[in-house]
Amino acid sequence: MLLLLVYLGHFWFAACSGLVVVTEEIEGARFNTGISAMTEFINATYKWDKLPWLAIEPFVLLLSPYEELWFRLGHSNSLAYEPFLKADPAYLKESTVVLPV
């Protein structure tokens, strides 16, 4: 029982601290650091023996403000119904420029 409480304590700490950071960063339009906090949360879950649904649901909810931004950009459909992006190979070519010195 004590092990379960410690396990859940680590989970709730990771979930709540991630929630605070993501909320603050989204409110400040610092989206990259909000996403970074979500990455830290997922990295914390990798250390657990089992990944409970309790960990997945808060993480998915942390994504919801980004969908709200999609609607604020004027879109009427949920992101769930939009096609997933594909990388254009033309933009993946690295180019070098030689400059005379």
Residue 94, domain member (yes or no): no
Q: Write out pLDDT tens, residues 76-89.
A: 999 889 888 888 88
Q: Find the DSSP H helices in the chain.
A: 2-27, 31-45, 53-72
Count up the domains in the chain and report the number: 1
What is the tens place of the pLDDT at every residue in 20-57?
Answer: 777 888 888 888 888 888 888 788 777 777 766 666 77
CA distance linking residue 62 with residue 35, whole number of Å? 9
- For residue 16, the model assigns a pLDDT of 67
Q: What is the pLDDT of residue 87?
A: 83
Asked whether residue 55 is domain-assigned, the answer is yes
Residue with tokens 């879109």: 75
Q: pTM of this prediction?
A: 0.56
Provide the residue range defining the domain that includes 36: 2-75
How many beta carbons lie within 10 A of that of residue 101, not counting itself?
3
Give 93's Cβ-side CA count (13 Å radius): 4
Arithmetic mean of pLDDT, 62-72: 84
How many other β-carbons are positioned within 10 Å of the β-carbon of residue 35?
Answer: 16
**Structural domain includes residue 39:** yes
Burial class, 44, CB count within 10 angstroms (exposed 0-12 / middle 13-18 / buried 19+):
middle
In a domain, 92, yes or no: no
